[in-house]
Copies of this chain bind each other. A is one copy, B any other.
Amino acid sequence: MRNYEMLFPFWSKLSDAEKELIEQTTYIETYNKGMLMHRTEDSCKGLMTVLTGQLRTYILSEEGREVTLFRVNAEEVCVLSASCLLDAITFDVLIEATEDTEVLVVPSAVLNQVMQQNPYVELFLYKAATEKFSDVMWTMQQILFLKIDQRVAQFLWDEMIQKNSMTLSITHDEIARYIGSAREVVTKVLKYMVKENVLELKRGTIIILDKEKLRGYM
Protein backbone atom coordinates (compact mmCIF):
# COMPACT_ATOMS: atom_id res chain seq x y z
CA MET A 1 0.00 0.00 0.00
CA ARG A 2 1.53 3.27 -1.11
CA ASN A 3 1.40 6.30 1.13
CA TYR A 4 -0.64 8.58 -1.14
CA GLU A 5 -1.52 10.85 1.72
CA MET A 6 2.11 11.82 2.16
CA LEU A 7 2.83 12.24 -1.56
CA PHE A 8 -0.32 14.17 -2.41
CA PRO A 9 -1.42 16.88 0.06
CA PHE A 10 -4.83 17.00 -1.67
CA TRP A 11 -5.53 13.35 -0.77
CA SER A 12 -7.87 14.13 2.13
CA LYS A 13 -9.94 16.38 -0.18
CA LEU A 14 -10.67 13.57 -2.62
CA SER A 15 -13.84 11.51 -2.64
CA ASP A 16 -13.53 7.75 -2.09
CA ALA A 17 -14.21 7.17 -5.79
CA GLU A 18 -11.43 9.60 -6.78
CA LYS A 19 -9.00 7.91 -4.40
CA GLU A 20 -9.85 4.51 -5.80
CA LEU A 21 -9.45 5.74 -9.37
CA ILE A 22 -5.96 7.04 -8.63
CA GLU A 23 -4.96 3.95 -6.67
CA GLN A 24 -6.04 1.65 -9.48
CA THR A 25 -4.40 3.54 -12.35
CA THR A 26 -1.07 4.83 -11.04
CA TYR A 27 1.95 2.79 -11.99
CA ILE A 28 5.69 2.81 -11.48
CA GLU A 29 8.26 3.54 -14.15
CA THR A 30 12.01 3.14 -13.89
CA TYR A 31 14.56 5.29 -15.67
CA ASN A 32 18.25 4.48 -15.82
CA LYS A 33 20.82 7.14 -15.11
CA GLY A 34 21.13 9.49 -18.09
CA MET A 35 17.79 8.60 -19.66
CA LEU A 36 15.60 11.35 -20.99
CA MET A 37 12.04 11.01 -19.75
CA HIS A 38 10.27 13.91 -21.35
CA ARG A 39 10.64 15.58 -24.68
CA THR A 40 8.74 18.43 -26.27
CA GLU A 41 7.26 16.21 -28.94
CA ASP A 42 6.13 13.42 -26.63
CA SER A 43 2.59 12.90 -25.61
CA CYS A 44 1.88 13.87 -22.05
CA LYS A 45 2.18 10.88 -19.76
CA GLY A 46 0.92 12.36 -16.54
CA LEU A 47 2.05 13.55 -13.16
CA MET A 48 5.32 11.99 -12.06
CA THR A 49 6.40 11.77 -8.45
CA VAL A 50 9.96 10.71 -7.72
CA LEU A 51 10.07 7.71 -5.36
CA THR A 52 13.82 7.12 -5.46
CA GLY A 53 16.58 8.84 -7.43
CA GLN A 54 16.61 12.32 -8.93
CA LEU A 55 15.43 14.14 -12.02
CA ARG A 56 17.09 17.14 -13.60
CA THR A 57 15.09 19.66 -15.60
CA TYR A 58 16.91 21.72 -18.20
CA ILE A 59 16.55 23.74 -21.37
CA LEU A 60 18.60 23.46 -24.51
CA SER A 61 19.62 26.13 -27.00
CA GLU A 62 19.80 25.56 -30.73
CA GLU A 63 23.55 25.16 -30.44
CA GLY A 64 23.10 22.48 -27.80
CA ARG A 65 23.98 24.52 -24.72
CA GLU A 66 22.20 23.23 -21.60
CA VAL A 67 21.02 25.15 -18.58
CA THR A 68 19.80 23.28 -15.51
CA LEU A 69 16.63 24.81 -14.11
CA PHE A 70 16.05 22.69 -11.03
CA ARG A 71 16.21 19.14 -9.73
CA VAL A 72 13.38 16.98 -8.43
CA ASN A 73 14.29 14.77 -5.47
CA ALA A 74 12.50 11.81 -3.85
CA GLU A 75 8.95 12.53 -2.69
CA GLU A 76 8.71 15.60 -4.89
CA VAL A 77 6.41 15.91 -7.89
CA CYS A 78 7.78 16.77 -11.29
CA VAL A 79 4.94 19.09 -12.18
CA LEU A 80 6.32 19.93 -15.62
CA SER A 81 5.74 16.31 -16.64
CA ALA A 82 2.01 17.16 -16.48
CA SER A 83 2.39 20.56 -18.15
CA CYS A 84 0.04 19.59 -20.98
CA LEU A 85 -2.83 19.70 -18.47
CA LEU A 86 -1.85 23.10 -17.12
CA ASP A 87 -2.85 25.92 -19.49
CA ALA A 88 -0.65 28.43 -17.74
CA ILE A 89 2.54 26.53 -18.62
CA THR A 90 3.48 27.52 -22.15
CA PHE A 91 7.13 26.48 -22.22
CA ASP A 92 8.75 23.11 -22.40
CA VAL A 93 11.81 21.55 -20.86
CA LEU A 94 13.89 18.42 -20.98
CA ILE A 95 13.86 16.05 -18.02
CA GLU A 96 16.70 13.60 -17.40
CA ALA A 97 17.34 11.02 -14.68
CA THR A 98 20.62 11.96 -12.99
CA GLU A 99 20.71 8.55 -11.28
CA ASP A 100 18.63 5.38 -11.51
CA THR A 101 15.19 6.74 -10.74
CA GLU A 102 11.80 5.29 -9.90
CA VAL A 103 8.74 7.44 -10.50
CA LEU A 104 5.08 7.01 -9.70
CA VAL A 105 2.91 8.05 -12.64
CA VAL A 106 -0.67 9.29 -12.34
CA PRO A 107 -1.86 9.04 -15.96
CA SER A 108 -2.91 12.28 -17.68
CA ALA A 109 -6.46 11.14 -18.35
CA VAL A 110 -7.01 10.24 -14.68
CA LEU A 111 -5.39 13.41 -13.42
CA ASN A 112 -7.47 15.46 -15.82
CA GLN A 113 -10.71 13.83 -14.70
CA VAL A 114 -9.97 14.39 -11.01
CA MET A 115 -8.80 17.95 -11.69
CA GLN A 116 -12.10 18.83 -13.35
CA GLN A 117 -13.98 17.71 -10.26
CA ASN A 118 -11.67 18.99 -7.57
CA PRO A 119 -10.00 22.43 -7.37
CA TYR A 120 -7.53 21.19 -4.73
CA VAL A 121 -5.75 18.98 -7.26
CA GLU A 122 -5.23 21.84 -9.70
CA LEU A 123 -4.23 24.09 -6.80
CA PHE A 124 -1.62 21.53 -5.74
CA LEU A 125 -0.19 21.40 -9.26
CA TYR A 126 -0.04 25.16 -9.76
CA LYS A 127 1.43 25.61 -6.31
CA ALA A 128 4.12 23.05 -7.16
CA ALA A 129 4.75 24.90 -10.44
CA THR A 130 5.13 28.17 -8.55
CA GLU A 131 7.68 26.58 -6.19
CA LYS A 132 9.69 25.65 -9.26
CA PHE A 133 9.24 29.22 -10.49
CA SER A 134 11.05 30.27 -7.30
CA ASP A 135 13.84 27.77 -7.99
CA VAL A 136 14.21 29.05 -11.53
CA MET A 137 14.36 32.65 -10.33
CA TRP A 138 17.21 31.62 -8.05
CA THR A 139 18.99 29.89 -10.95
CA MET A 140 18.44 32.90 -13.18
CA GLN A 141 19.87 35.31 -10.63
CA GLN A 142 22.89 33.03 -10.29
CA ILE A 143 23.42 32.98 -14.03
CA LEU A 144 22.93 36.68 -14.47
CA PHE A 145 24.66 38.07 -11.48
CA LEU A 146 27.25 35.67 -10.13
CA LYS A 147 30.68 35.46 -11.55
CA ILE A 148 31.73 32.12 -12.97
CA ASP A 149 34.13 31.23 -10.14
CA GLN A 150 31.34 31.81 -7.63
CA ARG A 151 29.03 29.53 -9.62
CA VAL A 152 31.59 26.74 -9.81
CA ALA A 153 32.38 27.05 -6.09
CA GLN A 154 28.70 27.10 -5.18
CA PHE A 155 28.09 24.02 -7.30
CA LEU A 156 30.99 22.06 -5.74
CA TRP A 157 29.88 23.12 -2.28
CA ASP A 158 26.29 21.95 -2.88
CA GLU A 159 27.51 18.64 -4.31
CA MET A 160 29.80 18.11 -1.31
CA ILE A 161 26.90 18.70 1.08
CA GLN A 162 24.46 16.56 -0.90
CA LYS A 163 26.83 13.63 -1.39
CA ASN A 164 28.37 14.10 2.07
CA SER A 165 31.80 13.56 0.53
CA MET A 166 34.80 15.70 -0.38
CA THR A 167 35.54 13.43 -3.34
CA LEU A 168 33.15 14.14 -6.22
CA SER A 169 32.83 11.94 -9.30
CA ILE A 170 31.96 14.49 -11.92
CA THR A 171 33.42 15.71 -15.20
CA HIS A 172 34.12 19.32 -16.18
CA ASP A 173 31.59 18.93 -18.92
CA GLU A 174 28.89 17.90 -16.45
CA ILE A 175 29.66 20.89 -14.21
CA ALA A 176 29.47 23.20 -17.22
CA ARG A 177 26.07 21.78 -18.11
CA TYR A 178 24.78 22.07 -14.57
CA ILE A 179 25.77 25.72 -14.20
CA GLY A 180 25.02 26.74 -17.78
CA SER A 181 28.55 27.54 -18.88
CA ALA A 182 31.16 26.08 -21.26
CA ARG A 183 33.52 23.22 -20.40
CA GLU A 184 36.61 25.28 -21.26
CA VAL A 185 35.56 27.99 -18.81
CA VAL A 186 34.91 25.47 -16.02
CA THR A 187 38.28 23.80 -16.62
CA LYS A 188 40.00 27.17 -16.36
CA VAL A 189 38.30 27.94 -13.04
CA LEU A 190 39.06 24.45 -11.65
CA LYS A 191 42.73 24.70 -12.63
CA TYR A 192 42.95 28.05 -10.90
CA MET A 193 41.49 26.48 -7.76
CA VAL A 194 44.06 23.67 -7.98
CA LYS A 195 46.86 26.24 -8.07
CA GLU A 196 45.31 27.81 -4.97
CA ASN A 197 45.30 24.40 -3.20
CA VAL A 198 41.52 24.35 -2.94
CA LEU A 199 41.08 21.26 -5.11
CA GLU A 200 42.89 18.30 -6.54
CA LEU A 201 41.84 16.98 -9.95
CA LYS A 202 41.96 13.35 -11.02
CA ARG A 203 40.39 11.76 -14.07
CA GLY A 204 36.63 12.18 -13.61
CA THR A 205 37.10 13.11 -9.96
CA ILE A 206 37.43 16.34 -8.03
CA ILE A 207 38.79 16.21 -4.49
CA ILE A 208 38.06 19.17 -2.26
CA LEU A 209 41.14 19.85 -0.16
CA ASP A 210 40.12 23.03 1.59
CA LYS A 211 36.46 23.62 2.41
CA GLU A 212 37.08 27.02 3.93
CA LYS A 213 38.91 28.33 0.88
CA LEU A 214 36.19 26.94 -1.37
CA ARG A 215 33.63 28.81 0.70
CA GLY A 216 35.71 31.93 0.25
CA TYR A 217 34.81 32.00 -3.46
CA MET A 218 31.09 31.97 -2.77
Contact = CB atoms under 8 A, between A and B. Distances in A.
Interface of A: 59, 61-63, 65, 67, 86-91, 119-120, 122-123, 126-134, 136-138, 140-141, 143-145, 180
27 contacts: A61-B144, A61-B145, A65-B145, A67-B140, A67-B144, A86-B130, A87-B127, A88-B127, A88-B128, A88-B133, A88-B134, A89-B130, A89-B133, A89-B134, A90-B131, A91-B138, A91-B141, A119-B123, A122-B123, A122-B127, A123-B126, A130-B130, A136-B137, A136-B140, A140-B143, A143-B143, A144-B180
Nearest to A118: B119
A144 B134 CA distance: 18
Given A61-B145, A62-B145, A144-B67, A129 B133 contact: yes
Number of this chain's copies in the complex: 2
Nearest to A141: B59
Given A59-B141, A144-B67, A133 B131 contact: no
Q: For chain A, what secondary structure do more than half of its interface residues adopt (helix, strand, loop), or is it mixed?
A: helix
Contacts of A126: 123, 126-127, 129-130
Contacts of A180: 144
Contact of A133 (B63, B122, B132, B143): B132
A61 B147 CA distance: 12
Contacts of A91: 134, 137-138, 141
Give the 10 A-B CB pairs with smallest separation, nearest first: A126-B126, A133-B133, A61-B145, A88-B130, A91-B137, A90-B134, A88-B131, A129-B130, A119-B119, A123-B123
Contacts of A62: 145
A45 B136 CA distance: 25
Nearest to A93: B137
Contacts of A120: 119
